[in-house]
Amino acid sequence: MNDIVIRVENLGKRYRIGASPERYKTLRDTLISGINAPFQKLRSGLSSSHSSAGPNLIWALRDISFDVPRGKVLGIVGRNGAGKSTLLKILSRVTEPTVGSAEIHGRVGSLLEVGTGFHPELTGRENIFLNGAILGMKRLEIGRKFDEIVAFSEVEQFIDTPVKRYSSGMYLRLAFAVAAHLEPEILVVDEVLAVGDAEFQRKCMGKMSDVAQAGRTVLFVSHNMSAVLRLTEETIVLDKGKLAYRAPTPQAVDYYMAAGLTGAGERLWASDEIPAESAPFLPIALRLRDTKGQVVDTLRSTEPISLEIEYRLDLPITGLRVGIYLLTMRGEYVFTSFDLDNPTQFEQMGARQQGHYISRCTIPANTLNEGRYILSVNASTFRVKRYFWDDHALAFTVDATGAPGKQWPEPRMGPIRPALDWVIERL
């Protein structure tokens, strides 16, 4: 007999996106459109009243079909906006699909975001019970696991302190601890491993593998390719709302990392790739240039790399910072840098007026080791709004010819390859 715990068939989800997402529908709008509707129908005739896909409708997910057998740990990867979160939201019953169906066998526990329903005024103890109940645990069950949860979270001393006095690390540890002790047949996890320090992350990973080894089914969504590689056997790749690829994880990760990144040293954003929330920030291009000013895909480790982000501002933005994340092909961060990192520049550039801009920087020579890297682009105002984020904007190759230590034809460990001044003293 087949033992499929999740069966997804032709699943699709359509969202309505307004011109301005911040604006809520008001009663007035409905009343007015209600009054106008009959007239509009008269004017437009019968034919157009049936058209369902207007300009403001987008398919976040379309024609998705897959099965997950019991006990499988399935990875889900994809760029921002590929539909991962929408898929998880449908599977965890937060939202309904627009078309298609999904069949789920057993209780679904979702860790779409840890600490859901945590109330800052309540103590750690109170929040454990509340959060557990929200996640679908019974009071007895929470009581039985209470000590285990507290021990896992490492906040014993503060368990009777309101969580608003917790550090963000403690808060997240407690939140994850509750969620991790849920015992559903199907666990849906999204990006929770990005929390806490390295030690705690290791613990979280351990807990996740325990869940998987106990024969429960796990759907794991992450941008962290090394976590996906470690935890899952099989992975599906989503691209623009469609299921692009399904394969054993190493293959799928390679596919994903290479997808659309044939690499010309330049990334241009087409208008349909720019989400509506980006406005008034409009990304145009990301380019890498070598010392001769050529836009190239392969750069030398021993030479400085010139990086430029071209964009337009349709309105002035106060506190805008534009920058990059550099990642390895496994999704590990190498560094982060913003164009206002320099304090004096930060002072001078309070508000950026509307106009056409290039933010340019140089990655110094002897920084990167040989290999392939990924650049993410981020334009945001600190703690206020993220205008634009492409976590997979451009990939490029670094060639280490002539780099320090190249006399030995061995691969060097680590993503960076600095030229250090060694001194050898004979004592």
Partner 1 sequence: MTAEQLTKPHEDVIILKPTHGLAALNLRDLWIFRELVLFLAWRDVLVRYKQTVLGATWAVIQPIIQMVVFTLIFSRAAGLSSEGVPYPIFNYTALLPWGLFSKALNDAGRSLVNNRNMITKVYFPRLTIPVASVLAGLVDFSIAFLVYIGIILYYNFAPNSTYTYTVTPALLTLPLFIILALVASLGVSLWFAAANVIYRDVGHILPFLTQIWFFMTPIVYSSSEVSKEWQIIYALNPLTGVVEGFRWSLLGIHSLPLPLLFVSAGVAVVLLITGLIYFRNMERTFADEI
Give the residues lining the site for partner 1 (CB under 8 A).
Answer: 1-3, 15, 24-28, 30, 70-71, 89-108, 110, 112-113, 116-117, 119, 121-122, 126, 129-130, 133-136, 138-139, 162, 185, 215
Q: How far is the CB of 209 from partner 1 (least distance, A)?
A: 19
Nearer to partner 1, 76 or 261 (CB): 76
In terms of Cβ atoms closer than 10 Å to its own Cβ (0-12, 13-18, 19+), residue 29 is exposed
Q: How far is the CB of 75 from partner 1 (least distance, A)?
A: 21
Angle at which helix 124-134 crosses helix 168-180, to 10 degrees, equals 40
Copy the structure tokens of residue 350.
């309070």
Nearer to partner 1, 78 or 109 (CB): 109
Q: How far is the CB of 392 from partner 1 (least distance, A)?
A: 25
Kind of pairing between the strands at 186-190 and 108-111: parallel
Nearer to partner 1, 1 or 19 (CB): 1
Nearer to partner 1, 95 or 353 (CB): 95
Nearer to partner 1, 133 or 247 (CB): 133
Close Cβ partners of 369 (under 8 Å, ≥ 6 residues apart): 301, 398, 400, 403, 412, 414, 415, 416, 417
Nearer to partner 1, 117 or 405 (CB): 117
- Mapped onto helix, strand or coil, the DSSP state of residue 134 is helix
Q: How far is the CB of 112 from partner 1 (least distance, A)?
A: 5
The string of DSSP letters for 280-336 reads: TEEEEEEEEE-TTS-B-SEEETTS-EEEEEEEEESS-EETEEEEEEEEETTS-EEEE
Angle at which helix 168-180 crosses helix 198-213, to 10 degrees, equals 10
Rounded CA separation 391/308 (Å): 16
Place of tokens 């004017």: 43
Q: How far is the CB of 178 from partner 1 (least distance, A)?
A: 12
In terms of Cβ atoms closer than 10 Å to its own Cβ (0-12, 13-18, 19+), residue 118 is buried
Q: How far is the CB of 369 from partner 1 (least distance, A)?
A: 39
Side chain identity at 188, as an amino acid letter? Answer: V
Contact 400, 290 (CB under 8 A): no
Nearer to partner 1, 6 or 208 (CB): 6
Q: How far is the CB of 159 from partner 1 (least distance, A)?
A: 16
Q: How far is the CB of 149 from partner 1 (least distance, A)?
A: 16
Nearer to partner 1, 34 or 343 (CB): 34
Q: What angle do CA 119, 120, 124 make, to 5 degrees?
A: 80
Query: Residue 192 gets which letter from DSSP?
Result: G
Nearer to partner 1, 102 or 398 (CB): 102
Kind of pairing between the strands at 333-338 and 351-352: unpaired
Q: How far is the CB of 65 from partner 1 (least distance, A)?
A: 13
